[in-house]
Amino acid sequence: MNKPLRRIAIFCGLLVLALLIRDNWLQYVQADELRTDTANRRVNIERYATPRGDIIVDGNPITGSVKSKTGDYEYKRTYKDGAMWAPITGYASQAFGANQLEKIDDGILTGNDDRLFFRNTLDMITGKKKQGGNVVTTLNGAAQKAAFQGLGDKKGAVAAIDPKTGAILALASTPSYDPSTFAGNSTTTDSKAWNDLQKKNNPDDPMLNRALRETYPPGSTFKVVTAAAALENGLVPDADTNTKSPDPWTMPGTTTKLPNEGNLPCKNATLRTALRVSCNT
């Protein structure tokens, strides 16, 4: 090979090497960065190309999917009793992303999670359209409804937990919002609904999850702790023996009297009675 041809061959070889290095850099080093880039719409188009799996309560779905009427996103999310379940489900919006279970379990719900590999492979072989997986919760529908309705127009939260397992049975927060109102990608309806829910436009801040994102003093719930400590350390012999607890009680080292709330049978009450009616003394 003469000298000019050798130089051209080396130059072409370097170009091919540079191309291979660049290709591997894009596919492996920058893959996640490119995949999550806000300018990359392909990820969201793929996410909403099939119906999302459902979030299940008491064996029944509290979510769904419908075909979008416009845009590149084929399906959008729907919710049953959206305001009641929003503190748990969160939202999955074509325009504003997702949070809560919709975000935590997005891989399952979109069908992209590795745990669905064999099902997806079988569907591909059989020609079945890809579908999302379901997320089954420990929630109790009746408990959630009672908590949400009990809060009514108040600002507050209710959390009900199974003490044996730690399973969450209810998680309510008010005021709340319906995630269905901004599940799409419309710059008129969905964007307006989203903006109306923001704290700067709504002082009630309905999108604040008061059950998970706020801190509260323990209040009377701490009476369970002090009662257990009294039993464990022998301060009271059992739950049904009368205690020496005046009503009101003057706190040690002070002249301040601690009362009870209302006309309660708290004077020298048993521990069982004191817990039942929530005696302060």
Report the catalytic residues.
220
249 membership: H or E segment, kind and range: strand 249-250
H-state helical runs in 114-184? 117-126, 141-151
Beta carbons within 8 Å of 124's beta carbon, 6+ residues apart: 130
Beta carbons within 8 Å of 151's beta carbon, 6+ residues apart: 157, 158, 172, 173, 174
Could you tell me the two tokens for 224? 């369970």
Distance CA 279, CA 220 (A): 9
Using an 8 Å Cβ cutoff, are 222 and 278 in contact? no
> Measured between alpha carbons, how far apart are the two ends of the chain, in Å?
102
Distance CA 144, CA 80 (A): 13
Residue in this structure with the two tokens 């997806």, named with its chain if needed: 120
Distance CA 271, CA 233 (A): 14
Identify whether 248 is preceded by a cis peptide bond (ω within 30 of 0). Answer: yes
Distance CA 17, CA 22 (A): 9
